[in-house]
Structure 1
Amino acid sequence: MGPRILRSIAVLRAAFTPGEYDIVHAQDCISANAVDRCVRTIHHLDQFTTPELAACHEKAIVRPFAHLCVSAAVAREVHEGWGLSPTVIPNGVDAARFATAVPSGAHGRYILAVGGIEPRKGSIELLEAYGKLTGLTLVIAGGETLFDYRDYRAEWETKAAELGVKPIVLGPVDHDVLPGLVAGAAVFAFPSTKEGFGLAAMEALAAGVPVVTRDLPVLREVFGDTVLYGTDPSSLAVALRDAVDHPSPSRAAAGRALAAAHTWRAAAERHADFYRTLL
């Protein structure tokens, strides 16, 4: 995994001309390492055991001259770990794109998870929660990352066989297909172990779909009472069942309003104001 990431950094660095820009803004640790001095949005913090990746992660935090986070919870983590004080600018969401989507009926009554199969997404715990449910299909959308999760994927497949369940794994989903897939779900599952904001879950709220997330401080901050929470496979299963069997119109309305309040225009304007303070 380390050499693959290092190659990606080298390719990006070779193609980049930093002198042509007043401000360079990196959204991830790979681009932050490639462009060196920059503004960095730290979406969430990872923990790596591979020396090369740990060094890349560290450099992508300490080397940038200005820092942003998309939630106060992650900003606190950065402050506690490195003594930095990032400015918080939440993400936006294209709420209308999901609010007006025609629900897909391709998979019957289904639980949808977006983001692929990987440790940070809590994929195995979601699988275990799904094993406790009946009458629903688990659908997973999303492609691969630069990180090598083949061992985790093999463990996930072994667990599925042990549980006797057969989720539908779609892989990457076209941009125009995703809103209908989200809107057609009976419930959206978001059991991530680490998140910076939870954009995929916010898109589900925009579509009026009930959402179940892991009970993390950052997700409590962003979503409040608009979603249901779980902490382990058993409580996630209970929350998923409750969301499907007892949908709450008031929670759905609050979720739609929350998503609509997070516009990309507002996020862009706040970024522009932030850049002006640097210039």
Structure 2
Amino acid sequence: MPELVVLTEQLLAPVPGGTGRYTRELLAAMVAYAPPGWTVAGVTATHRDLRPAVVPNVAGPRALPLPRRGLTALWERGVHFWPGGDAVHAPTPLAPPARKRGRSLVVTVHDTVPFTHPETLTRRGASWHQSAIRRAAERANAIVVPTAAVAEELARYASGPATVAVVPHGVPEVFCKPMDPNEAALRAGRLRLPETYVLAVGTLEPRKGLDLLVQAMAQQHAPELPLVVVGPRGWGQVDLFELAAEYNFPAKRLHVLGRIDDEDLSAVLRRASVLAVPSRAEGFGLPVLEAMAVGTPVVHTDVPALVEVAGGTGLIVPRGDADALANALRNVVSETVATAERVAQGQLRAAAFTWEHAATELWRLHVRFFDRANAR
């Protein structure tokens, strides 16, 4: 009975971020839609507590006999240490340096930010990701990317013999089903949410453009609403309250919630007047899709992947233009008829993005390359 091993190390990272959410959602879907005869297991490096990497109905997680740093260094140096299984899926570029004879390897590359915007990462992080992505392009059976925009950039920066497949993310179930109004009100009260607000969702780090959003919200022509920011603190010392003081945005209008679970995020998204996505670079933009699914209007930058995901249902502003961002936010709030039309179009578009489709497409890749590797 063949086994698919999914590397779930990102679930144990200090800041799992969007790739952590992708790993958990994908793994659950891979189990649900596994072909007959296949089993699925999670594998991590050695950690004291593996509970954050537990996913229902998935075997494991099994811990490899190396800590994360050791495992990363081993694979970085090209050591052929196979994590087990007949097929391996790496939901991030942390992956074996090459496939094993008779086995298959598929790696997800979420974006090309390490190549296109290395200044938005740490120097070490950008260098490591560049090397890992190039290695996967040369030695994996396939690379999975979430958008055609990433596929195009990947061909420019890290081309290789690996098959490149565009497989978009799905919308988690909690954002697809209606939320009970009483539950939504209880969650809003516990989180001390304002009645209406502009919302931003993402790890607090330079490439998310939150400095630009604070600057935009401080403009006189911006909507006079509170700004709510959801997401864990990342690298780069992005301090929103310092930015608010710098741009003369009233601190009382800034609400920083930090990391919250998907149920709370669903409530926060549904209550927002608009989701602002001022990113400088993205590979997909899952909050855009989640906002579309719950019926919240979106304003996003002209990052190609965001434009691709939104499909014309959001207002687009140039990257780095605080005035344009302020204007777009005001227009969404004030032009209710046009906004309602975009929201309806967004919900229809979001319905086409499912984890069932993502899992089915990935299984096709894994089975195809596993069969090919074992053909006699």
Taking structure 2 as the reference length, what is the TM-score of the superposition?
0.65
Q: Percent identity?
A: 34
Question: Deviation per CA, 1:38-60, whole angstroms, max 9, x where unpaired?
Answer: 42111112234665434311221
Mapped to 2, the partners of 1:57 and 1:12 lie a distance apart of: 11
Correspondence for 1:159 among 243, 247, 252 = 243
Pairing 1:44–2:111 present: yes
How far off its partner does 1:194 sit? Answer: 1.2
1:15-164 equivalences in 2 (<5 Å):
18-29=82-93, 31-32=94-95, 35-37=96-98, 38-47=105-114, 48=118, 52-64=124-136, 65=140, 66-84=142-160, 86-94=164-172, 97-101=175-179, 102=181, 106-132=193-219, 133-145=222-234, 148-150=235-237, 153-154=238-239, 156-164=240-248
How far off its partner does 1:204 sit? Answer: 0.5
Mapped to 2, the partners of 1:81 and 1:94 lie a distance apart of: 31
Three-state SS of the structure 2 residue aligned to 1:177 is helix
Three-state SS of the structure 1 residue aligned to 2:368 is helix
How far off its partner does 1:230 sit? Answer: 1.0
Mapped to 2, the partners of 1:115 and 1:213 lie a distance apart of: 13
Mapped to 2, the partners of 1:36 and 1:126 lie a distance apart of: 39
The aligned residue for residue 269 of structure 1 is 360
CA contact (8 A) 2:113 2:282 kept: no
- Gaps of at least 5 residues in structure 2 are 1-13, 16-66, 75-80, 99-104, 371-376
Instruction: Mark the structure with the bigger radius of gyration.
Output: 2
CA contact (8 A) 1:96 1:206 kept: no
CA contact (8 A) 1:190 1:214 kept: yes
1:133-212 equivalences in 2 (<5 Å):
133-145=222-234, 148-150=235-237, 153-154=238-239, 156-165=240-249, 166=251, 167-212=254-299
Correspondence for 1:10 among 70, 81, 91 = 70
Correspondence for 1:238 among 327, 330, 343 = 327
Mapped to 1, the partners of 2:156 and 2:358 lie a distance apart of: 25
Mapped to 1, the partners of 2:286 and 2:196 lie a distance apart of: 23
Three-state SS of the structure 1 residue aligned to 2:300 is strand
Three-state SS of the structure 2 residue aligned to 1:39 is strand
Mapped to 1, the partners of 2:361 and 2:174 lie a distance apart of: 21
Letter aligned with residue 172 of structure 2: D
Q: Give the length in aligned residue pairs.
A: 265
Three-state SS of the structure 2 residue aligned to 1:268 is helix
Q: Quick one: structure 1 residues 12 and 175, their matched pair in 2 at CA, closer, same or farther if it must change by over 3 Å?
A: farther
Mapped to 2, the partners of 1:211 and 1:98 lie a distance apart of: 17
Mapped to 1, the partners of 2:68 and 2:214 lie a distance apart of: 32
Three-state SS of the structure 2 residue aligned to 1:20 is coil
How far off its partner does 1:11 sit? Answer: 5.9
Letter aligned with residue 121 of structure 1: K
* Higher RCO by CA contacts (8 Å cutoff, separation 6 or greater): 1
How far off its partner does 1:75 sit? Answer: 0.5
Mapped to 1, the partners of 2:197 and 2:276 lie a distance apart of: 10
Question: Deviation per CA, 1:124-182, whole angstroms, max 9, x where unpaired?
Answer: 0111111112420000001134xx322xx24x443310322221111111232110111
Question: Deviation per CA, 1:90-148, whole angstroms, max 9, x where unpaired?
Answer: 11112663551345552121011111321111110111111112420000001134xx3
Q: 1 or 2, which has the higher helix percentage?
A: 1
Letter aligned with residue 205 of structure 1: M
Letter aligned with residue 75 of structure 1: A
CA contact (8 A) 1:95 1:203 kept: no
How far off its partner does 1:253 sit? Answer: 1.1
How far off its partner does 1:81 sit? Answer: 1.3
